[in-house]
Amino acid sequence: MDERSLLETFPNPHPSRDYFIEHRVREFTSLCPNTGQPDFGTMIVRYVAGELCVELKSLKLYLQTFRDKGIFYEDVTNVILDDLVGCCHPKWMAVRTIWSVRGGLETTITARHGQKPTM
């Protein structure tokens, strides 16, 4: 199954107005591709919708598919951004992942799409 097919949208109720939508995922998990150990992080998806918004249950189910996937922090952040942009075509979007400390290092990755509106 292609995980992207889980993502659903609904019409933006106010497409003529730029406004920020922010989703926080406090229990995001994936697997380290080198060790197979779980990686834990917080993910923040922030966007200005175009004609479509991402539906939350579908977003939750999509994000859960990464639990068993061996993928580096940098890759998972960019893959999720690409999939969400392909799904809902926002005017602007940023995906930030903040990973739990491992070996004394805390890592934050931010990937962006489009020009952030000034508001």
* Residues labelled catalytic: 32, 39
Residue 59 near residue 4, CB atoms below 8 Å: no
Residue 39 near residue 102, CB atoms below 8 Å: yes
Residue 57 near residue 117, CB atoms below 8 Å: no
Distance between CA atoms of residues 48 and 67, nearest Å? 27
